[in-house]
């Protein structure tokens, strides 16, 4: 399916709603039936029927069709947050006593899911360095049910060889799932490489304007249906029709925004890399990035999120640099119109700061839609002020 068709037409039945170009926000909790027979049929298969908006809703269904097609997946489910799109499917895939192999240091709440939540059900997790495929093979136990990936990681940009990992998981009956928030389906298509489930925080690039929190998971119709009929309906992480409408709107400009973020990041990174006060820039498409070959092999492009380390990485200098920025905002999240920074030390008390720990030194930056020169001027003032 062509990208332009997916983003502009797929799922949209304009003659059902006055040929309006923008779809309606069907702001309703429930749907009425004319006959008991129709009602019974809908109750018998809520996955395919508009019955109650905790399950299906026509505005959400437009979004689901587009997101599934973008990933080359049979189906998609949307959630009220990205972490919902990770936690709920994982709760669905696993049962008591199962074992998970996860890449080390995935998204913070994903770590908490594995460390704090799943142990309640007797589910254990082994965290490994996912840059080496052999580490996955070594961690497999007889009860391993899931391999969890995040490629690239959104702080260290560590990458996993998706095709190789899918190939080792399949014959062992192990499911694979990836957090693909960094790339979006435009820059990485894990299902085509053999991964079973693809989750994304739609809060980031899909929404794209820092005004909606949402998530999506895509996969086979069999797995998605099972998640829907069980954990999805029971836990109730449904997205509001208005939020779904905002995501449909976000999708219209996703290719443009992603490309802008990618191109501007290149310019900002080139400037930072040459600056004498900067020790290192971490970005999958940077020259000299340790896994640059694998990145270029499995990714069609790169996001605008990267990290860098100042040569003088004292606690005070990192803090002063971030405090001095005038236009680049200090905040969590990314993928919106606005450029952001988050220093690792925002999560580290001064007494715990270890100047030799690279993770502590990182300053993560997201390049939004501003002119790159505008961002460079802001960075320059803050760096020169050190
Ligand atoms: C933001 C983020 C999430 C969580 O998404 P929410 O929409 O905030 O719940 C998960 N994974 C990654 C990589 C993220 O950046």
Atom of ligand 1 nearest to the CA of 84: 9
Residue with tokens 């080496």: 132
**Same domain, yes or no, for 30 and 178?**
yes
pLDDT of residue 13: 96
Q: In the prediction, which pLDDT does 144 show?
A: 98
Alpha helices in 140-274 (DSSP H): 162-169, 184-187, 221-227, 233-235, 241-252, 254-274
Nearest to 196 by CA among 152, 244, 161, 146: 146
Domain end residue (candidates: 208, 234, 252): 252
At 141 the pLDDT is 98
Residue 63 CA to ligand 1 center (angstroms) comes to 19
CA 83 / ligand 1 centre spacing (Å): 6
Nearest-CA neighbor of 212 among 251, 183, 186? Answer: 251
| Residue 322: per-residue pLDDT | 98
State the DSSP string of 52-121. BTTT--HHHHHHHHHHHHHHT-SEEEEESSHHHHHHHHHHHH--TT-EEEEESS--HHHHHIIIIIGGGG
Same domain, 237 and 264: no
Give residue 227's domain range. 3-252
Same domain, 293 and 192: no
Residues 259, 337: Cα–Cα separation, whole Å: 12
232/108 same-domain check: yes
Mutate to test the pocket of ligand 1, among 84, 151, 181, 206 (most ligand atoms within 8 A of CB): 181
- 8 Å CB contact between 372 and 331: no
What does the CA dihedral 70, 72, 74, 78 come to, rounded to 10 degrees? Answer: -30
- What is the DSSP code (8-state) at residue 273? H
Q: In this structure, are 232 and 290 located in the same domain? A: no
Give the pLDDT confidence score for residue 318 in this predicted structure: 96
pLDDT at 296: 97
Residues of the chain with pLDDT under 50: none
The total number of structural domains in the chain stands at 2
Question: 107, 149, 159, 208: which to mutate for ligand 1, most atoms within 8 A of CB?
Answer: 107
Distance 6 CA to ligand 1 centre (A): 24
At 74 the pLDDT is: 98
Residue that terminates a domain, selected from 213, 234, 252: 252
Residues 292 and 222 in one domain: no
Look at residue 344 in the predicted model and tell me its pLDDT. 95
* 240, 271: one domain: no
Cβ–Cβ contacts within 10 Å for residue 125, how many? 19
User: pTM of the prediction?
Assistant: 0.97
* CA–centroid distance, residue 107 to ligand 1 (Å): 7
- Nearest atom in ligand 1 to the alpha carbon of residue 203 is 7
Residues 345 and 369 in one domain: yes
The Cα 130–Cα 132 span in angstroms is 5
Report the nearest-CA residue for atom 11 of ligand 1.
107
Element (H, E) at 125: strand 124-128
pLDDT score of 78: 98
Ligand 1 center from residue 383 Cα (angstroms): 29
Q: 150 with 103: CB under 8 angstroms? A: yes
């Amino acid at each position: 399916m062509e990208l332009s068709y997916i983003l502009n037409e797929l799922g949209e039945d304009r003659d059902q709603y006055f040929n309006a170009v923008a779809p309606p926000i069907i702001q309703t909790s429930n749907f009425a039936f004319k006959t008991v027979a129709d009602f019974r049929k809908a109750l018998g298969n809520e996955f395919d029927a508009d019955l109650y908006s905790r399950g299906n809703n026509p505005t959400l269904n437009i979004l689901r069709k587009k997101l599934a097609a973008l990933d080359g997946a049979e189906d998609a489910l949307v959630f009220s947050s990205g972490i919902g799109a990770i936690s709920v499917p994982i709760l669905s895939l696993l049962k008591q006593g199962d074992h998970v192999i996860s890449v080390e240091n995935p998204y913070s709440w994903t770590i908490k899911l594995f460390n704090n939540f799943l142990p309640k059900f007797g589910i254990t997790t082994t965290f490994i360095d996912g840059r080496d495929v052999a580490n996955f093979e070594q961690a497999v136990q007889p009860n391993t049910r899931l391999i969890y990936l995040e490629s690239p990681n959104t702080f260290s940009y560590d990458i996993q060889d998706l095709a190789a990992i899918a190939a080792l998981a399949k014959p062992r009956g192990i499911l694979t799932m990836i957090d693909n928030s960094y790339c979006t389906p435009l820059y990485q298509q894990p299902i085509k490489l053999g991964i079973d489930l693809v989750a994304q925080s739609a809060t980031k690039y899909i929404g794209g304007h820092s005004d909606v929190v949402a998530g999506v998971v895509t996969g086979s119709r069999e797995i998605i249906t099972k998640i829907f009929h069980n954990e999805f309906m029971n836990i109730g992480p449904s997205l509001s029709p208005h939020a779904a409408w905002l995501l449909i709107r976000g999708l219209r400009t996703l290719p443009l925004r992603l490309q802008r973020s990618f191109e501007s990041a290149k310019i900002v990174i080139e400037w930072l890399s040459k600056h004498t006060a900067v020790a290192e820039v971490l970005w999958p498409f940077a020259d000299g990035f340790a896994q640059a070959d694998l990145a270029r092999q499995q990714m069609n492009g790169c996001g605008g999120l990267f990290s860098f380390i100042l040569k003088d990485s004292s606690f005070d200098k990192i803090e002063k640099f971030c405090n001095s920025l005038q236009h680049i905002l200090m905040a969590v999240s990314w993928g919106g119109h606005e450029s952001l920074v988050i220093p690792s030390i925002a999560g580290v008390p001064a007494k715990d700061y270890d100047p030799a720990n690279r993770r502590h030194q990182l300053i993560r930056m997201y390049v939004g839609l501003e002119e790159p020169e505008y961002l460079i001027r802001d960075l320059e003032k803050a760096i020169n002020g050190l």
